[in-house]
Amino acid sequence: KQEVTQIPAALSVPEGENLVLNCSFTDSAIYNLQWFRQDPGKGLTSLLLIQSSQREQTSGRLNASLDKSSGRSTLYIAASQPGDSATYLCAVDASNDYKLSFGAGTTVTVRA
């Protein structure tokens, strides 16, 4: 069974600092990996989707890398802002059967 881990569970940084969020998974035979953002009491918003054939994806200040062989993905957020405060979750599609395995998330606080 695919296990997805996100460490640390919480992170606090001053505004302007770059954020590095980690996601690890146990089965490297994945089809894709997706990063989401969740604000308190809200649903999930898709940030980046990395297909298994890709090494990274970028969108604005966000960059996500994927290393299947080591079972890791990293989400980088450049020049963090207070509006980036949220919980960030990663999810892995490992079985091509329409199911994703989610990590518990990293809650980020960006201090003004």
Per the CB < 8 A criterion, the answer to whether 112 and 12 are in contact is no
- Name the minimum Å distance from CB 66 to other proteins: 14
Burial (CB < 10 A; 0-12, 13-18, 19+), residue 85, is middle
- Name the minimum Å distance from CB 39 to other proteins: 10
Site mask, other proteins, residues 72-111, x = CB under 8 A?
A: -----------------x-x-x--xxxxxxxxxx------
26-55 positions binding other proteins, by CB under 8 A: 31-32, 34, 36, 41-46, 49, 51
* Nearer CB in complex with other proteins: 81/96: 96
User: Edge to edge, what strands does the sheet with 4-5 contain?
Assistant: 4-5, 19-25, 72-77, 62-67, 56-59
